[in-house]
């Protein structure tokens, strides 16, 4: 990989020391090194409101001794700290029960290539001036959109680099690095004493693909379009859900694909493999190999190759997501979905890039409005985190736009929508072409056959 040698030089001394301490002392072990650096700025009233630089590194050590697992970490990459950390991991393993499903996976080959479009060679961790300028552009984009934008909150911009190396006693030795660029803002618009808020964010692994001014402008547009919002009577109508809303709903559904939740009975899709649960139009994937994806990597948090996994195909549940542990418990095979938040965490099963599939031939957002005829365009849901993860039942606040004759007419607010998440994705009548990712979750806008919204 580009820069691989530099990464290895950072950790090589630590690797040699830890291997000496661990070889022969435990049955199996895993070392996870991570180094991060970054800088972020927030702009307020055209001036720098905050500027933060972050740096950190460390190692997480997972050991298995007589079937018992222990984990410890150190933020000091120094020889005197390594001995204490190894002792702690071993001592903690003695406090756990032996688990026949716990093991360190074997690596088939060395993984050392950074995935395309994950690393920006122009990254400069000390470039405060550029970060300040881009944060100011986020705010400027919001204020320039309309005179009705009276306040801008959290106009921020961040650049961050992550370098990691994972190796274990069974042959895995994987190295990778990635950069992350993020802009975020909330705009407040006012008219005749009424205030409305709008937000937006831009994120990418490459600086050139994040557009700060546009991020601010789009947030302001969201705020302004809601001015003059009306209440409506309770109605059961065709409903278009905006792509950002679909991302939120898909995220709520995503936990049901995880192996640990399946085993523990915390999934609404448990036991439904091979069953048609959703609309024929629904195809859902988890793809750790996606080019430029926010959570794309050549390897997962256990050092196994990531993969593209079909979860739903034409409405039929086709698969679930596993790390090596939950795959063993469920008599399945790891899908390369071990994840961890950093060197202070041991691995667990999680998502990579999970998305609802669309195509370039899919209808535009305007075409979805036309197909809806008279109905709703929901642009915001409140309380998505309250959706029942086992049953899928929900009751949420909502706001958006009224559609009349296939075109947007006026904003609406104060709505309450209720139903079931599985039924909602089963009633998908059309999928748009406007794919958008919010972090690791991606979706286009969709048209629902019918959704009941309680109004005034």
Residue 54 pairs with which residues in a beta bridge? 38
Confidence at residue 2, expressed as pLDDT on a 0 to 100 scale: 37
Enumerate residues 6+ apart whose C-beta is below 8 A from 27: 64, 65, 66
User: In whole angstroms, what is the distance from residue 369 CA to residue 404 CA?
Assistant: 9
Q: Which of 198, 222, 246 is the last residue of a domain?
A: 222
**The whole model's pTM is what?**
0.94
Confidence at residue 357, expressed as pLDDT on a 0 to 100 scale: 98
Look-up: residue for tokens 């609404």?
Answer: 268
Confidence at residue 425, expressed as pLDDT on a 0 to 100 scale: 98
Alpha carbon 195 to chain centroid distance?
Answer: 30
Domain co-membership, 326 together with 188: no
Q: Which of 206, 222, 238 is the last residue of a domain?
A: 222
Domain co-membership, 237 together with 207: no
Question: Are the C-beta atoms of residues 440 and 354 closer than 8 Å to each other?
Answer: yes
Confidence at residue 1, expressed as pLDDT on a 0 to 100 scale: 35
Domain co-membership, 86 together with 217: yes
Q: Which of 222, 248, 283 is the last residue of a domain?
A: 222
User: In whole angstroms, what is the distance from residue 201 CA to residue 210 CA?
Assistant: 9
Domain co-membership, 215 together with 357: no
Domain co-membership, 162 together with 303: no
| Per-position pLDDT tens, the chain of length 456 | 333 444 445 688 899 999 999 999 999 999 999 999 999 999 999 999 999 999 999 999 999 999 999 999 999 999 889 999 999 999 999 999 999 999 999 865 545 556 779 999 999 987 899 999 999 999 999 999 999 999 999 999 999 999 999 999 998 999 999 999 999 999 999 999 999 999 999 999 999 999 999 999 999 999 999 999 999 988 899 999 999 999 999 999 999 999 999 999 999 999 999 999 999 999 999 999 999 999 999 999 999 999 999 999 999 999 999 999 999 999 999 999 999 999 999 999 999 999 999 998 999 999 999 999 999 999 999 999 999 999 999 999 999 999 999 999 999 999 999 999 999 999 999 999 999 999 999 999 999 999 989 876
* DSSP output for 247-304: HHHHHHHHGGGBHHHHHHT--TTTT-TT-B-S-TT--EEEETT-TT-TT--SB-TTSP
Confidence at residue 10, expressed as pLDDT on a 0 to 100 scale: 62
User: In whole angstroms, what is the distance from residue 130 CA to residue 133 CA?
Assistant: 5
Domain co-membership, 16 together with 61: yes
Residue 182 pairs with which residues in a beta bridge? 158, 203
User: In whole angstroms, what is the distance from residue 354 CA to residue 311 CA?
Assistant: 9
Domain co-membership, 193 together with 259: no
Alpha carbon 264 to chain centroid distance?
Answer: 23
Domain co-membership, 13 together with 130: yes
Domain co-membership, 112 together with 127: yes
Confidence at residue 3, expressed as pLDDT on a 0 to 100 scale: 38
Q: Which two tokens stand for residue 236?
A: 């059961």
> What is the number of structural domains in the chain?
2
Q: Which two tokens stand for residue 86?
A: 């190894």
* DSSP output for 193-226: TEEEEEEEEEEESSGGG--HHHHHHHHHHHHHHT
Domain assignment of residue 56, given as a range: 4-222
Distances in whole angstroms, Cα of residue 133 to Cα of each of 113, 138, 145, 408: 33, 9, 18, 36
CATH code for the domain of 12: 3.30.2290.10
Domain co-membership, 389 together with 455: yes
Distances in whole angstroms, Cα of residue 270 to Cα of each of 135, 262, 264, 381, 406: 45, 5, 9, 26, 39
Helix (H, G, I), strand (E, B) or coil at 402: strand
Residue 53 pairs with which residues in a beta bridge? 39
Distances in whole angstroms, Cα of residue 187 to Cα of each of 194, 217, 340: 14, 9, 33
Confidence at residue 115, expressed as pLDDT on a 0 to 100 scale: 73
Domain co-membership, 309 together with 209: no
Domain co-membership, 174 together with 279: no
């Amino acid at each position: 990989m580009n820069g691989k040698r530099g990464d290895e030089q950072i950790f090589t001394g630590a690797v040699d020391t830890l291997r000496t301490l661990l070889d022969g002392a435990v049955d199996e072990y895993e070392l996870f090194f991570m180094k991060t650096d970054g800088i972020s700025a927030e702009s307020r009233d055209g001036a720098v409101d905050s500027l933060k630089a972050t740096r950190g590194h460390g190692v997480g050590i997972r050991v298995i001794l007589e079937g018992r697992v222990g984990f410890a970490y150190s933020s000091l990459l120094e020889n005197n700290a390594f001995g204490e950390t190894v002792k702690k991991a071993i001592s903690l393993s003695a406090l756990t029960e032996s688990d026949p499903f716990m093991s360190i996976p074997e690596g088939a080959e060395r993984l050392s290539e950074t995935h395309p479009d994950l690393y920006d060679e122009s990254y400069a961790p000390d470039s405060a001036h550029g970060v300040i300028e881009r944060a100011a552009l986020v705010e400027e984009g919001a204020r320039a959109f309309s005179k009705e934008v009276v306040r801008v909150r959290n106009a921020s911009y961040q650049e961050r680099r992550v370098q990691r190396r994972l190796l274990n006693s069974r042959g895995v030795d994987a190295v990778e690095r990635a950069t992350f660029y993020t802009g975020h803002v909330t705009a407040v618009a006012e008219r005749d004493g009424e205030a409305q808020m709008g937000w937006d964010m831009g994120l990418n692994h490459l600086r050139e693909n994040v557009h700060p001014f546009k991020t601010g402008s789009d947030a302001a547009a969201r705020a302004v379009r809601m001015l003059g919002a009306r209440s409506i009577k309770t109605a059961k109508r065709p409903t278009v859900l905006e792509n950002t809303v679909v991302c939120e709903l898909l995220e709520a559904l995503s936990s049901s694909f995880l192996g640990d939740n399946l085993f523990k009975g915390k999934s609404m899709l448990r036991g439904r493999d091979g069953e048609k649960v959703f609309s024929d139009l629904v195809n859902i994937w988890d793809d750790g190999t996606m080019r430029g994806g926010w959570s794309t990597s050549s390897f997962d948090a256990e050092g196994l190759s990531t993969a593209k996994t079909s979860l739903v195909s034409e409405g039929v549940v086709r698969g679930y997501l596993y790390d090596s542990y939950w795959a063993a418990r469920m008599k399945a095979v790891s899908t390369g979905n071990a994840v961890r938040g950093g060197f202070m965490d041991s691995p667990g099963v999680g998502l990579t890039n999970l998305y609802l599939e669309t195509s370039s031939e899919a209808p535009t957002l305007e075409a979805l409005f036309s197909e809806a005829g008279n109905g709703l365009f929901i642009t915001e849901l409140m309380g998505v985190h309250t959706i029942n993860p086992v049953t899928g039942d929900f009751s949420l606040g909502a706001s958006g736009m009224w559609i009349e004759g296939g075109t947007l007419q006026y904003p609406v607010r104060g709505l309450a929508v209720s139903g079931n998440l599985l039924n909602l994705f089963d009633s998908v009548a059309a999928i748009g072409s406007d794919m958008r990712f919010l972090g690791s979750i991606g979706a286009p806008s969709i048209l629902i056959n019918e959704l009941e919204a309680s109004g005034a």
